[in-house]
Structure 1
Amino acid sequence: MYQTVGHHAIDLYAEAMALPLYRRTIRGRSLDTRQVYTKCEGDEVEDLYELLKLVKEKEEVEGISVGAILSDYQRIRVENVCKRLNLQPLAYLWQRNQEDLLREMISSNIQAMIIKVAALGLDPDKHLGKTLDQVEPYLIELSKKYGVHVCGEGGEYETFTLDCPLFKK
């Protein structure tokens, strides 16, 4: 459920946006893999619950943004945690057309670099270190040819954002 590639640099996001950063070690693992999640001691979702509970206590947080585009698994688990903490889940990307979304990210000056590849047609020697605007036409071609998710929603690739309008420095 969690992206771990590049996690060692997450503190740079908080610094760039001038926001506090809250982290918690994920001690649990994926135990309840059913479509509808039920609270389960030792599940990784409970680590998220404890972290968001702390954030809610320390900050004036009323909602949590979910980056899932297609993953019911992720969205449902975040919604479960939000419901239990009386927080509003915000899933603005949910079921968006991925080609449109990728173009919007690029036109919004989000500079995201590919830091992991794991799909047919994506070659570490050619694609690692490239930004989304550099590979957009190729990702669309792979989508049409092999069904690759243009935004990497199926784990085809992972990115790290180098710059975006939210960054203050």
Structure 2
Amino acid sequence: MKKRVALSWSGGKDACLSLDTLIHNGIEVVCLVTTVPTELGRTFGHGEKLELVKLQGEALEIPVEFITTSFNEYTERFIETIKTLKEKYDLNGIAFGDLYLEDHREWGEKLAVAVGIEALYPLWGEKENSLRMLKEFLYSGYKATVIRVREDVLDETWLGRQLDHTFFDDIQTKDLCPMGESGEYHTFVFDGPLYKKKIVLEDSEIIQLETTKKLEFKKYILQAK
């Protein structure tokens, strides 16, 4: 039986590379799943506007399902929603873009057991492979920009940078995971091989959050390729 999976979707490079890997391995990604804490009203982790995630779904022609939850009920609400999506999309798996953090994988696998489906980790490997993974993204054809940085490791000059070969060289001079696996930086993918349309991002400003800085786009549209 062909695998039909939901993909945990942040909108960044890891999620996008996971999507690409799954599809190229013959796995059908039937929906993208994004959590939205009620305390934020934005996506979990990246703090992105829901409108931008919706545009990614439109560009990829894959439906986006939002899981609205409080931080206190995060796991319970996630399980409840995936059970509902299991019936809606005839799911037999859920995929995550985690690279090597064991506690993240343990959480996802327990969730999958609770729902009665399989947990997939298409990018899973060793921490030492993170630089190779970043290089793989650079050559994948996808386009991403840095939208959020942790102030203890990167300053605001990194915001708005494209993930290109200059970025690849510069990130190696910093004492952090090259893929930002611990939240050192987050990205937004706006174009690439699976995108039927590209997302044009304009009119940006930098906003200050508790321990991070975020690049906010005031204008964003889908554009034919």
Partner of 1:153: 181
- Return the structure number with greater relative CO, CA threshold 8 A, min gap 6: 1
Partner of 1:6: 48
| Deviations 1:45-99 (CA, angstroms, capped at 9, x unpaired) | 1121122112111113221111111222222111111112221111121224101
1:130 aligns with 2:161: yes
Q: Secondary structure at the match of 2:64?
A: coil
TM-score, normalised with respect to structure 1:
0.81
Q: Give structure 1 regions of 4+ aligned residues with deviation exceeding 6 angstroms.
A: none
1:166 aligns with 2:208: no
In structure 2, relative to structure 1, the CA distance for the partners of 1:27 and 1:120 (3 Å cut) is closer
In proportion to residue count, which structure has more strand? 2
Letter in 2 for 1:5: G
Give me the whole-angstrom Cα distance separating, in 2, the residues matched to 1:14 and 1:85. 24
1:116 aligns with 2:158: no
Give me the whole-angstrom Cα distance separating, in 1, the residues matched to 2:98 and 2:151. 19
Give me the whole-angstrom Cα distance separating, in 2, the residues matched to 1:94 and 1:16. 26
In structure 2, relative to structure 1, the CA distance for the partners of 1:45 and 1:121 (3 Å cut) is closer
Give me the whole-angstrom Cα distance separating, in 1, the residues matched to 2:95 and 2:181. 16
In structure 2, relative to structure 1, the CA distance for the partners of 1:72 and 1:7 (3 Å cut) is farther
Give me the whole-angstrom Cα distance separating, in 2, the residues matched to 1:10 and 1:140. 29
Give me the whole-angstrom Cα distance separating, in 2, the residues matched to 1:135 and 1:120. 18
Partner of 2:101: 71
Q: Secondary structure at the match of 1:149?
A: coil
Give me the whole-angstrom Cα distance separating, in 1, the residues matched to 2:49 and 2:76. 19
Aligned residue pairs, count: 151
Give the unaligned 5+ runs of structure 2.
Answer: 1-34, 36-43, 198-225
Give me the whole-angstrom Cα distance separating, in 2, the residues matched to 1:151 and 1:136. 10
Give me the whole-angstrom Cα distance separating, in 2, the residues matched to 1:7 and 1:82. 27
Partner of 2:173: 141
TM-score, normalised with respect to structure 2:
0.62
1:22 aligns with 2:65: yes
